[in-house]
Chains A and B, each alone.
Chain A
Amino acid sequence: SQELEQSPQSLIVQEGKNLTINCTSSKTLYGLYWYKQKYGEGLIFLMMLQKGGEEKSHEKITAKLDEKKQQSSLHITASQPSHAGIYLCGAATIAFQGAQKLVFGQGTRLTINP
Chain B
Amino acid sequence: DAGVIQSPRHEVTEMGQEVTLRCKPISGHNSLFWYRQTMMRGLELLIYFNNNVPIDDSGMPEDRFSAKMPNASFSTLKIQPSEPRDSAVYFCASTRDSITYEQYFGPGTRLTVT
Q: A residues bordering B, Cβ < 8 Å?
A: 31, 33, 35, 40-45, 48, 50, 88, 94-107
Contact = CB atoms under 8 A, between A and B. Distances in A.
Given A97-B97, A99-B50, A99-B97, A105 B104 contact: no
Contacts of A105: 42
For the complex of A and B, 10 pairs with smallest distance between CB atoms: A99-B31, A42-B105, A98-B97, A43-B105, A104-B43, A45-B102, A106-B42, A42-B107, A98-B99, A97-B97
Contacts of A102: 33, 45, 103
29 contacts: A33-B102, A35-B105, A40-B110, A41-B107, A42-B4, A42-B106, A43-B91, A43-B93, A45-B102, A48-B100, A94-B56, A96-B50, A97-B50, A97-B97, A98-B97, A98-B98, A99-B30, A99-B31, A99-B48, A99-B95, A99-B98, A100-B103, A101-B33, A101-B48, A102-B103, A103-B45, A104-B43, A107-B42, A107-B43
A28 to B, nearest CB: 15
Contacts, number: 66
Contacts of A97: 50, 97
Contacts of A44: 105
B46 to A, nearest CB: 11
B55 interface: yes
A31 B107 contact: no
Instruction: Place the interface of chain B in its size category.
Output: 20 to 34
B45 A48 contact: no
B108 A42 contact: yes
Residue of A43, A99, A107 with highest tally of chain B CB at under 10 A: A99
B6 to A, nearest CB: 8
Nearest to A107: B42
Interface string B19-63: 000000000001101000000001111001010000110000000
A113 B102 CA distance: 31
Nearest to B98: A98
B65 to A, nearest CB: 18
A45 B103 contact: yes
Given A96-B55, A102-B45, A45 B99 contact: no
